[in-house]
Amino acid sequence: MKIKLSNRIGLLSGSFLIVAGVAVGLVASFSDTAQAHKVKHSPATLNAFDQVFMEQVRLGDLLFHGDPATQKKMGVTLSKTGMACAMCHPRAADTHPYEYPKFQEQINKFSTLRDITNWCIEKPNQGEKISVDSDAMKALEAYMYWSTRGSKLDPGRH
Protein backbone atom coordinates (compact mmCIF):
# COMPACT_ATOMS: atom_id res chain seq x y z
CA MET A 1 0.00 0.00 0.00
CA LYS A 2 2.70 2.44 0.97
CA ILE A 3 4.80 1.67 -2.09
CA LYS A 4 1.89 2.02 -4.47
CA LEU A 5 0.91 5.38 -3.06
CA SER A 6 4.47 6.58 -3.26
CA ASN A 7 4.51 5.71 -6.93
CA ARG A 8 1.67 8.17 -7.46
CA ILE A 9 3.95 10.95 -6.25
CA GLY A 10 5.91 10.70 -9.46
CA LEU A 11 2.85 11.79 -11.37
CA LEU A 12 1.96 14.74 -9.21
CA SER A 13 2.81 18.35 -9.77
CA GLY A 14 2.64 21.75 -8.09
CA SER A 15 0.39 22.25 -5.12
CA PHE A 16 -1.04 18.75 -5.46
CA LEU A 17 2.34 17.38 -4.44
CA ILE A 18 2.12 18.95 -1.01
CA VAL A 19 -1.50 18.02 -0.37
CA ALA A 20 -1.11 14.48 -1.63
CA GLY A 21 2.11 14.11 0.30
CA VAL A 22 0.19 14.76 3.51
CA ALA A 23 -2.48 12.35 2.29
CA VAL A 24 0.04 9.60 1.70
CA GLY A 25 1.55 10.18 5.13
CA LEU A 26 -1.80 9.87 6.85
CA VAL A 27 -2.88 6.81 4.92
CA ALA A 28 0.45 5.10 5.30
CA SER A 29 0.55 5.74 9.04
CA PHE A 30 -2.24 3.24 9.64
CA SER A 31 -0.31 0.17 8.71
CA ASP A 32 1.46 -1.59 5.90
CA THR A 33 -0.74 -4.60 6.50
CA ALA A 34 -4.31 -5.11 5.33
CA GLN A 35 -5.77 -4.00 8.65
CA ALA A 36 -8.23 -1.13 8.70
CA HIS A 37 -10.65 0.66 10.98
CA LYS A 38 -8.55 0.11 14.11
CA VAL A 39 -8.69 3.84 14.76
CA LYS A 40 -11.80 5.96 14.28
CA HIS A 41 -11.82 8.05 11.13
CA SER A 42 -11.12 11.71 11.68
CA PRO A 43 -11.95 14.48 9.23
CA ALA A 44 -8.26 14.58 8.36
CA THR A 45 -8.30 10.87 7.59
CA LEU A 46 -11.30 11.20 5.32
CA ASN A 47 -9.71 14.17 3.64
CA ALA A 48 -6.59 12.10 3.03
CA PHE A 49 -8.62 9.33 1.41
CA ASP A 50 -10.37 11.93 -0.73
CA GLN A 51 -7.08 13.43 -1.86
CA VAL A 52 -5.87 10.05 -3.02
CA PHE A 53 -9.10 9.51 -4.94
CA MET A 54 -9.23 12.97 -6.48
CA GLU A 55 -5.68 12.66 -7.73
CA GLN A 56 -6.80 9.63 -9.72
CA VAL A 57 -9.79 11.60 -11.03
CA ARG A 58 -7.45 14.35 -12.12
CA LEU A 59 -5.16 11.93 -13.94
CA GLY A 60 -8.16 10.24 -15.53
CA ASP A 61 -9.49 13.63 -16.65
CA LEU A 62 -6.18 14.40 -18.38
CA LEU A 63 -6.06 10.97 -20.04
CA PHE A 64 -9.71 11.24 -21.06
CA HIS A 65 -8.98 14.59 -22.72
CA GLY A 66 -5.95 13.24 -24.54
CA ASP A 67 -3.23 15.10 -22.63
CA PRO A 68 0.02 13.93 -24.31
CA ALA A 69 2.26 14.48 -21.25
CA THR A 70 0.08 12.34 -18.97
CA GLN A 71 -0.14 9.57 -21.58
CA LYS A 72 3.63 9.62 -21.93
CA LYS A 73 4.18 9.50 -18.16
CA MET A 74 1.81 6.57 -17.81
CA GLY A 75 3.16 4.78 -20.87
CA VAL A 76 -0.10 4.59 -22.82
CA THR A 77 -1.26 5.54 -26.31
CA LEU A 78 -5.01 5.93 -26.07
CA SER A 79 -5.53 7.23 -29.62
CA LYS A 80 -3.77 7.52 -32.94
CA THR A 81 -6.51 9.49 -34.72
CA GLY A 82 -6.05 12.76 -32.86
CA MET A 83 -9.35 12.07 -31.13
CA ALA A 84 -9.68 11.88 -27.35
CA CYS A 85 -12.33 10.09 -25.29
CA ALA A 86 -13.91 13.41 -24.32
CA MET A 87 -14.60 14.31 -27.96
CA CYS A 88 -17.49 11.82 -28.06
CA HIS A 89 -18.06 11.89 -24.29
CA PRO A 90 -17.91 15.46 -22.96
CA ARG A 91 -18.18 15.34 -19.16
CA ALA A 92 -18.09 11.57 -19.69
CA ALA A 93 -21.64 11.77 -21.11
CA ASP A 94 -22.90 8.50 -22.56
CA THR A 95 -20.15 6.46 -20.94
CA HIS A 96 -22.82 5.54 -18.36
CA PRO A 97 -20.50 3.63 -16.00
CA TYR A 98 -23.52 3.11 -13.74
CA GLU A 99 -24.96 0.64 -16.30
CA TYR A 100 -22.10 -1.87 -16.09
CA PRO A 101 -21.60 -4.77 -16.13
CA LYS A 102 -23.89 -5.61 -19.04
CA PHE A 103 -24.08 -7.35 -22.38
CA GLN A 104 -22.11 -5.17 -24.79
CA GLU A 105 -23.25 -5.37 -28.38
CA GLN A 106 -19.95 -4.31 -29.95
CA ILE A 107 -17.98 -6.93 -28.04
CA ASN A 108 -20.77 -9.50 -28.23
CA LYS A 109 -20.28 -10.61 -24.64
CA PHE A 110 -21.05 -9.73 -21.03
CA SER A 111 -18.65 -6.85 -20.36
CA THR A 112 -17.34 -4.44 -17.77
CA LEU A 113 -16.73 -0.72 -18.08
CA ARG A 114 -13.04 -1.53 -18.51
CA ASP A 115 -13.81 -3.88 -21.41
CA ILE A 116 -15.73 -1.23 -23.34
CA THR A 117 -13.09 1.38 -22.49
CA ASN A 118 -10.52 -0.81 -24.18
CA TRP A 119 -12.85 -1.37 -27.13
CA CYS A 120 -13.15 2.40 -27.60
CA ILE A 121 -9.38 2.82 -27.36
CA GLU A 122 -8.79 0.12 -29.98
CA LYS A 123 -11.64 0.74 -32.45
CA PRO A 124 -12.82 4.36 -32.77
CA ASN A 125 -9.57 5.82 -31.42
CA GLN A 126 -7.28 3.28 -33.09
CA GLY A 127 -5.03 3.42 -30.04
CA GLU A 128 -3.25 0.70 -28.07
CA LYS A 129 -5.31 -1.41 -25.70
CA ILE A 130 -4.23 -1.10 -22.04
CA SER A 131 -4.15 -3.69 -19.26
CA VAL A 132 -7.56 -3.86 -17.55
CA ASP A 133 -5.95 -3.42 -14.12
CA SER A 134 -3.38 -0.82 -15.14
CA ASP A 135 -2.99 2.52 -13.37
CA ALA A 136 -4.27 4.29 -16.50
CA MET A 137 -7.41 2.15 -16.61
CA LYS A 138 -8.12 2.78 -12.92
CA ALA A 139 -7.68 6.52 -13.43
CA LEU A 140 -10.01 6.52 -16.46
CA GLU A 141 -12.56 4.57 -14.46
CA ALA A 142 -12.26 7.01 -11.53
CA TYR A 143 -12.86 9.94 -13.86
CA MET A 144 -15.92 8.40 -15.54
CA TYR A 145 -17.54 7.44 -12.23
CA TRP A 146 -16.76 10.78 -10.62
CA SER A 147 -18.06 12.75 -13.61
CA THR A 148 -21.37 10.91 -13.54
CA ARG A 149 -21.78 10.82 -9.75
CA GLY A 150 -25.40 11.20 -8.75
CA SER A 151 -26.61 9.11 -11.69
CA LYS A 152 -28.94 6.25 -10.93
CA LEU A 153 -27.19 2.92 -10.56
CA ASP A 154 -28.79 0.65 -13.14
CA PRO A 155 -26.55 -2.32 -14.02
CA GLY A 156 -27.46 -4.22 -17.15
CA ARG A 157 -29.31 -1.36 -18.80
CA HIS A 158 -28.78 -0.87 -22.51
Partner 1 sequence: MPNEIDKGRRDLDKVLRNPVKRPDSSVSLTRRTFLQRSLVTGTALGAGAASLGLLPLVNTIDVAQAAGESFRFAWVSDTHLYGPGVNERFVDKTVKAFKEIQGMSPSADFMIFGGDLAQKGRQDELQLGSDLLKEVKIKKLFIPGEHDWYLDMGAEWEKRFGGSPWSMDHKGVRIIGLNTIGHAPDYWTAKKMSPEERMGHMEALDGTVAGAWAGLGRPQLKWLSDNLAGWPKDKPIIVFSHNPLYNYYAPWNFWVRDWQEVQEILGPYSNVTNVHGHTHQVLYNEIGTMRSIGMLATSWPWPYAPGVPNLTTPMVRVDPGDHFDGVGWGSLTGGDRVENEYMMWRKDIFATAQADSGAGDEGNQVLNERIADKQWPY
Does residue 28 belong to the site contacting partner 1 (CB under 8 A)?
A: no
One residue of 39, 72, 151, 156 binding partner 1 per CB under 8 A: 151
Separation in Å, CA 69 to CA 31, 59, 61 = 33, 11, 13
Applying CB under 8 A, does 47 fall inside the site for partner 1? no
Q: x/- site string to partner 1, residues 115 to 144, per CB under 8 A?
A: -----x--xx--------------------
What is the rounded distance in angstroms from the CA atom of residue 103 to the CA atom of residue 129? 20
Which residues pair with residue 110 across a beta bridge? 103
Give dist(CA 78, CA 136) in Å, integer.
Answer: 10
Whole-angstrom distance, CA of residue 17 vs CA of residue 20:
5
Of the candidate residues 48, 92, 121, 136, the single one contacting partner 1 (CB under 8 A): 92
For partner 1, give the closer residue by CB, 3 or 92. 92
Binding span for partner 1 by CB under 8 A among 1-9, 27-35, 42-50, 86-94 = 86-94
Query: Residue-wise over 74-90: b if at least 16 C-beta within 10 A, else e?
Result: bebebbeeebbbbeebe
* Residues binding partner 1 (CB under 8 A): 14, 16, 54, 57-58, 61-62, 65, 67, 69-70, 81-83, 86-94, 96, 98-99, 106, 120, 123-124, 146-152, 154, 157-158
